[in-house]
Amino acid sequence: MLNAYACYLEREAIIHLRGPRTTEFLQGQFTGDLRKLSKTHPLQGALCNPQGRVITDARLIALDDDHILLRLRASLRDRCTEILHRYAQFSRVEVSAHETDRAILGLYGDLEPPLLPPSPDEALHHDGCVVLNWASGVGEVIAPTGAEASLETIAAGLQPGLESDWQAKVLQSGHYALESSDSEQFTPQTLNYDERGLIAFDKGCYTGQEVVARLHYKGRAKRRLRIFQATSQAPVEEPLVDSEGTKAGKVLRCVPASEGYVIAAEIAVDAPVANLHTSQGSVLSPA
C-alpha cells in the first residue's frame, strides 16, 4: 500500500486498570456510560475534577471484564495514574502506567478496510493487539500485553510515517487531545464533548457531574473549540480577530500538516467562524 503509513506514537500513552470492580469504579469517574463498554466497543470521554473541568480526555478499551485500558496523552499519564490510584484503592482496583513507550502504532493514509474497524465506536482484537479507528483513514494499533512484535510486523508492511502527520489528521477530525498544559482549563462543553456524545447525561453521578449537568441544562457554553486550516504558523495564545478587528478567540494548538497547518482555537460562540485571521494577518479556513 504505497499511500498507507505507520508511525510509533511516542506522545501517546496507556494506563492499566485491573480488578473485579474496575467497571464500577470507572463509572463513577468517567463522563461516558461504562454500560456501553465492551471488547468490541471502546468508549471515549473524559475524567473531570470536582469543579467540572476536564483533567484529561481518554478512550477506554476493555481487554476483559477485569482489565480496562485508559488511552491518553503521555504528558498526562503519570498525573492521571496518581489521581486514579488515590480513589481506586478503595475499590481494590490496581492502577499502573504502561511501561513501554512504543506500544502504540499510528496508521494513516489509504488504508484498506480490514486494517481498521468500520467506525470509531468499534475495536478489533488481533494477535494480542487492539485496533482502533479515529476518523476516515486514521487509526492506531495498541500492544497492551507485550505484543510489540505484532506492531513491528504491521509497520513493516506500510510506509514509514510521521507522528506529526498523524496528530494533524486526528486534530483535523475534531479531536483535541489534552496535554498537561491543558489539564483542568476547560469544561467538557468548551471542548464539544456534549456535541460529540462523550458525556452521558443520564447515567448518574461521576466526579464533576453536577457542574457539567448544570451547564448543560441551565447554562450555555461561552466558548467552543473550532478547527481551522492555515497556510502559516500561528503561535499558541495568539489572538484571533474577525473582519472588523474584534477579538473572537485564541489559538490553542498549531500542528504542521502536509499542506500548511491545522489550528485548534477557542472561539466565542457568537463569533463568526468565517473570515477569522490571526493578529498577524494570516487567514484561517474552517477545516
- Secondary structure E strands in 93-137: 94-97, 104-109, 123-126, 129-135
| pLDDT tens-digit profile, the chain (287 residues) | 579 999 999 999 999 999 999 999 999 999 999 999 999 999 999 999 999 999 999 999 999 989 999 999 999 999 999 999 999 999 999 999 998 778 999 999 998 777 899 999 999 998 889 999 999 999 999 998 778 889 999 999 999 999 999 999 999 999 999 999 999 999 999 999 999 999 999 998 999 999 999 999 999 899 999 999 998 899 999 999 988 889 999 999 999 998 899 999 999 999 888 889 887 778 899 88
Domains of the chain: 4-159 (3.30.1360.120), 223-286 (2.40.10.230)
pTM, whole model, 2 decimals?
A: 0.94
Q: State the cell numbers at 156.
A: 513493516
pLDDT computed for residue 275 by the predictor: 83
Angle at 197 between CA 195 and CA 199, to 5 degrees: 105
- The pLDDT assigned to 1 comes to 59
pLDDT of residue 216: 93
pLDDT at residue 146, as a whole number: 77
CA distances from 247 to 180, 263, 270, 273 (A): 26, 17, 11, 12
Check: CB of residue 276 under 8 Å from CB of residue 228.
Answer: yes
Distances (CA, A) of 74 to 10, 69, 224: 8, 14, 25
pLDDT, one tens digit per residue, over 85-132 is 999 999 999 999 998 778 999 999 998 777 899 999 999 998 889 999
pLDDT at 279: 77
The string of pLDDT tens digits covering residues 214-251 is 999 999 899 999 999 998 899 999 999 988 889 999 99
pLDDT at site 258: 82
Q: How far apart are CA 11 and CA 194, in angstroms?
A: 26
